[in-house]
């Protein structure tokens, strides 16, 4: 079994000076035709902010992209922690407010009604019910009078 030779003859490219010059001129035209980003056009061309500020912005952008490439894992962990805090903060605040309300209601019941016969469970039940909109504290006041 003989290997067949490919009949396709690959053309040898021999660039000349004219071809190189033509390629160079088309590359320079492509570079000139690239438009500026919209934010550069708006802030630095239209509004006229100083060029020093543009240099600082571009440097910080470069540092930021390098940081994102190098520290992806750390940034993702920080984002998850922040998302956890923002998710659980309303629950924590609600619980704190309910506990404060129950403590204030317990103090109110003990100080204003002078109930000696009430035990801790009943006191907590009354204060919780009062914080959720109940009116038993006022009914107890009326019964004693």
For residues 18, 20, 22 and 24, what is the CA-based torsion angle, rounded to 10 degrees? -150
Name which of 22-36, 50-64, 73-87 the model is least confident about.
Answer: 22-36
Residues 127 and 121: their CA atoms lie apart, in Å, by 10
20 compared with 87, residue with greater pLDDT: 87
Element (H, E) at 59: helix 51-70
pLDDT score of 2 more than 90: no
Mean pLDDT of all residues in 107-111: 81
Mean pLDDT of all residues in 130-135: 80
């Amino acid at each position: 079994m003989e290997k067949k030779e490919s009949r396709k003859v690959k053309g040898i490219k021999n660039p000349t000076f004219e071809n190189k010059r033509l390629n160079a001129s088309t590359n320079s035209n492509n570079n000139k035709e690239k438009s500026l980003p919209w934010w550069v056009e708006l802030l630095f061309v239209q509004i006229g902010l100083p060029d020093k500020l543009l240099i600082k912005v571009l440097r910080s952008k470069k540092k930021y992209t390098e940081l994102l490439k190098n520290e992806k894992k750390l940034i993702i962990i920080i984002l998850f922690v922040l998302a956890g805090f923002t998710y659980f903060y309303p629950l924590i605040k609600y619980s704190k407010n309910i506990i404060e309300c129950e403590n204030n209601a317990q103090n109110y019941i003990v100080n204003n009604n002078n109930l000696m016969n009430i035990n801790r469970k009943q006191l907590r039940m009354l204060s919780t019910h009062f914080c959720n909109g109940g009116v038993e504290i006022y009914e107890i006041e009326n019964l004693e009078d």
